[in-house]
Structure 1
Amino acid sequence: MAHMQSLSADSSHGSVRGYVCGFVLSVALTTAAFWLVMRGAFPAQTAMIALSVLAFVQIVVHLAFFLHVDMAAGQRWNVMALAYTALAALFLIGGTVWVMHNVSMNMMSR
């Protein structure tokens, strides 16, 4: 039982201030994305880039403020698992788009 207590004592679970800050940032990023789409302030390609950046920042906010994933030594395996998952998702999505593009190109040429 002492071993379990030492593990939980080492991990930080955040504070109310951290959760409120993360919530405010998440709402602000969601509102910015919604405003960007509803106003049509930018051309389509620029808007897609801006939405991608806002989405990436929102992922980082969620990881840092709500999931408490950081670069501390105790989080090393969590960060490695997250990186592997992101890489696997990238391969899966990229491979699917590549196959769909090749199928489309081969269907058009006939």
Structure 2
Amino acid sequence: MSDHHEAERRQELHGYVIGLILAVVLSALPFGGVMLGLLPKTSLLWLIAIAALCQVIVHFRFFLHIDLSRSHRDDLQLILFSLLIVALMVGGTLWVLSNQRHMMG
């Protein structure tokens, strides 16, 4: 194996290790917050939401290799469009069910 391939492999492994460490820390923060109970419920919910959003970004960047470079922009747009469709479907379903519940009661 050439030195170029070895350096590329080492750099990729380094990225995976950084991603793993960040993912573990971002998972441990909300678990620790819930288990220790040091924060009020609203602050705890914000901590969980922010950690989840950061977790998504870490997975996109370090494990799926999606960043803002021109070559990966199409993949990012596809993922964002898919998330928009899922959000519309879930939101629409919740809206219809809420209206139906209101009409029944």
TM-score bracket relative to the smaller structure: 0.7 to 0.9
1:64 equivalenced with 2:98 (yes/no): no
**Over aligned residue pairs, what C-alpha RMSD do you find?**
1.8
| Highest RCO, 1 vs 2 (Cα 8 Å, sep ≥ 6) | 1
Task: Determine the structure 1 residue equivalent to 2:33.
Answer: 36
What count of residue pairs does the alignment treat as equivalent?
A: 97
Give the Cα separation in 2 of the matches to 1:38 and 1:100.
Answer: 34
Please report the TM-score for the alignment, with normalisation by the length of structure 1: 0.79
Gaps of 5+ in 1: 1-11
Per-residue deviation, 1:35: 0.9
Give the Cα separation in 2 of the matches to 1:100 and 1:42.
Answer: 33
1:26 equivalenced with 2:18 (yes/no): no
Give the Cα separation in 2 of the matches to 1:50 and 1:107.
Answer: 36
1:88 equivalenced with 2:78 (yes/no): no
Gaps of 5+ in 2: 1-7
1:54 equivalenced with 2:51 (yes/no): yes
Per-residue deviation, 1:105: 1.3
